[in-house]
Amino acid sequence: MLKHSLVGYDGSESSQQAFRFAMDVARACGGRVRVVSVLQVAEGGDTCALMMTDAGAQRAQDLLDELKTLEPDAAGLIDLEVTHGSPGDVLLSQVQQHDIDHIVIGHTARGTLARWLLGSVSGDVLARAHVPVTVVR
């Protein structure tokens, strides 16, 4: 049984669909959903990370409000974290830290060049995950 699903959430339509799917699984299995929003730090070092930490608390509240509009019972079934880093690395580290047994991620259609230049979070997670992964389209 899938008791602890993890959703990578960025507000996109595909991540909203992934969140809805994970909520359906949680309701069906009596489980919980851990929603993680990853803010990427490109340049700027510690100062940039500090500014993002300050903005993270507000982002978490805004995100919770957004998730409750998608699924009104979300507050009772989710754990929420806003963090920074590389999305694939963060999601995979969450699996061990929080006893996750299922990852749900959205798929964003990109061209071959964009995937090569930017990478693919879903591809990275699929390649390295040691738990079942559902990619929602």
The structural domains of the chain, ordered by start, are 4-136 (3.40.50.620)
Query: Which of 13, 3, 4, 5 lies closest to 134, judged by CA?
Result: 5
Please tell me which residue, 7 or 59, carries the higher pLDDT value: 7
Instruction: Give every strand in the sheet of 32-39, ordered side by side.
Output: 78-84, 32-39, 4-8, 102-106, 133-136
- The string of pLDDT tens digits covering residues 65-112 is 999 999 999 999 999 999 988 889 999 999 999 999 999 998 776 555
Q: How many CB atoms lie within 10 A of CB 23?
A: 23
**């974290």: which residue's tokens?**
81
Asked if 86 and 34 count as a contact pair (C-beta separation under 8 A), the reply is no
Q: What is the pLDDT of residue 1?
A: 77
Least reliable range by pLDDT among 37-46, 82-91, 99-108, 124-133: 37-46
